[in-house]
Amino acid sequence: MIPLDTLRARYLEGIRAAADEAALEELRLAALGKKGEVALLMRELGKMSPEERQTIGKSLNELKDEIDALLRARKAAFADAALDERLKAEWLDVTLPGRPRRMGTIHPVSQVMEECSAIFADMGFRVAEGPQIETDWYNFDALNIAPEHPARQEHDTFFMHRAEGDARPPHVLRTHTSPVQIRAMLDQGAPIRVIAPGRVYRMDMDQTHTPMFHQIEGMAIDRDISMANLKWVLEEFFSAYFGTKVKTRFRASHFPFTEPSAEVDIQCSWVGGQLKVGEGDGWLEVLGSGMMHPKVLQAGGIDPNEWQGFAFGMGIDRMAMLKYGIPDLRAFFESDLRWLRHYGFGALDAPSIHAG
Ligand code: PHE
């Protein structure tokens, strides 16, 4: 029989010197495996005398435990080292700046709505909203648009389908944002200051008209609101929006829901086919406005003997074209990625009164 000390020295040294887990496993099998040296010696015990068996058996067991313990310890050390290696290899500097990836762009119309909202918010106007599918009443009657008014005719207005035999007037795709005036008044009462940006629809299609476009409605009601307030608010708005002092010109006009009514032009110049807002002696029509008609206030549940207000409605798409030099309105709604990349805005450039 090989002296146990020789076995011990061989295995313990071998295990200490093992280069990897595979080498450890080989040693384990050689010593403790079914046909390993220690296991074979254990089998010899049966042939020994009881006294021999006691002492040698004990020593063998101790040797087996010793080898086993050292194997486990070395195995754990290899695992730790492997983890350290991996942590080193997979180390990541989370403080490095990210690689910017442009995820789409903000459409100029959305951008301009945000810009307008920011400017009007600064003057105390809240944003109000209404549905794009409106009832006949909100879109027309409540705004003092008589049943025979041409704006109601099929060629201007998109009417929703009605089930056969349904006698109620059909819903319409709202033709302007003015019905939000009524909804806001009924909702909030007076005094009130709101703007209402949103989509509107008319049957119209050429280079400067699309069947869907965007407006922004404005309305202020208080005890002594006048046209002077309207003019100040609009000039303040245009100057903030275009970043330069902009003069306005009011021309007498007619809307069923305002009295008096005015169309408003902004000052501009045409030089070499280039349009510049806020200079020169040309004029460009940009909105309709006026003092709210008493019947409209009434429809909104507000007493016209106590309150008065101004209202205006402006095309947003036109405002975007003017500010950002976009020539064709139809391209706004063609979803051409090249156009969007060119005219779009970064998702994180939030508009403000300072940054525009
Ligand atoms: N609703 C009108 C239009 O769409 C604009 C307008 C709004 C005029 C409010 C006066 C007052 O043309």
For 132-146, write each residue's pLDDT tens digit.
999 999 999 999 998
Same domain, 110 and 59: no
Same domain, 126 and 66: no
352 occurs within a structural domain: no
Tell the residue nearest (CA) to atom 7 of ligand 1: 313
- The rounded Å distance from CA 160 to ligand 1 centre is 22
Same domain, 151 and 41: no
179 occurs within a structural domain: yes
Q: Which of 149, 255, 259 to mutate to test the pocket of ligand 1 (most atoms within 8 A of CB)?
A: 255
Rounded to 5 degrees, φ, ψ at 192 are -155, 145
Q: Which residue positions form the known binding site?
A: 259
**Rounded Cα–Cα distance for residues 289 and 152 (Å):** 20
Tokens 């045409």 correspond to what residue? 270
Instruction: Return the CA Rg of the chain.
Output: 42
213 occurs within a structural domain: yes
Q: Which atom number of ligand 1 is nearest to the Cα of residue 215?
A: 4
Same domain, 249 and 124: yes
**Rounded Cα–Cα distance for residues 217 and 312 (Å):** 6
65 occurs within a structural domain: yes
Pick the more confident residue, 120 or 208.
120
- 275 — pLDDT class (breaks 50, 70, 90): confident
Query: CA–CA distance from 15 to each of 11, 67, 82 (Å)?
Result: 6, 8, 18
- The rounded Å distance from CA 44 to ligand 1 centre is 109
- Tell me how many domains the chain contains: 2
Read off the pLDDT of residues 210-243 as tens digits, 9 standing for 90 and up: 899 999 999 999 999 999 999 999 999 999 999 9
348 occurs within a structural domain: no
Same domain, 209 and 237: yes
**Rounded Cα–Cα distance for residues 319 and 275 (Å):** 13
Same domain, 160 and 83: no
Helix locations, 3-49, DSSP H: 4-17, 21-32, 37-44
Pick the more confident residue, 261 or 101.
261
Percentage above 90 pLDDT, the chain = 59
Same domain, 42 and 121: no
CB 204, CB 153: distance < 8 Å? no
Verify whether ligand 1 is closer than 6 Å to residue 258 (CB atom).
yes
343 occurs within a structural domain: no
Q: Which of 145, 140, 136 is nearest to 256 (CA)?
A: 145
CATH of the domain at 249: 3.30.930.10
- 155 — pLDDT class (breaks 50, 70, 90): low
Same domain, 139 and 213: yes
* Res 350: pLDDT: 65
Same domain, 31 and 144: no
Verify whether ligand 1 is closer than 6 Å to residue 315 (CB atom).
no
CB 67, CB 32: distance < 8 Å? yes
Same domain, 128 and 262: yes
Q: Which of 139, 140, 172, 176 to mutate to test the pocket of ligand 1 (most atoms within 8 A of CB)?
A: 176
187 occurs within a structural domain: yes
Verify whether ligand 1 is closer than 6 Å to residue 255 (CB atom).
yes
Instruction: Of 43-52, 252-261, 305-314, give the lowest mean pLDDT range.
Output: 43-52
CB 184, CB 221: distance < 8 Å? no
Give me 29's structure tokens: 């099998």
- Global pTM? 0.71
Residue 354 has pLDDT above 60, yes or no: no
- 252 — pLDDT class (breaks 50, 70, 90): very high
The angle, 0 to 180 degrees and rounded to 10, between the axes of the packed helices 316-324 and 227-242 is 40
Q: Which residue positions form the known binding site for Mg(2+)?
A: 259
**Rounded Cα–Cα distance for residues 85 and 79 (Å):** 10
Q: Which of 85, 76, 74 is nearest to 24 (CA)?
A: 74
Same domain, 166 and 72: no
- 107 — pLDDT class (breaks 50, 70, 90): very high
Domain extent for 226: 106-334
Instruction: Of 14-28, 107-121, 179-193, 340-354, give the lowest mean pLDDT range.
Output: 340-354
- The rounded Å distance from CA 143 to ligand 1 centre is 10
Same domain, 180 and 122: yes
Pick the more confident residue, 192 or 88.
192
356 occurs within a structural domain: no
3 state DSSP class of 82: helix
Q: What one-letter code names the amino acid at 316?
A: I
Beta bridge partners of 175: none
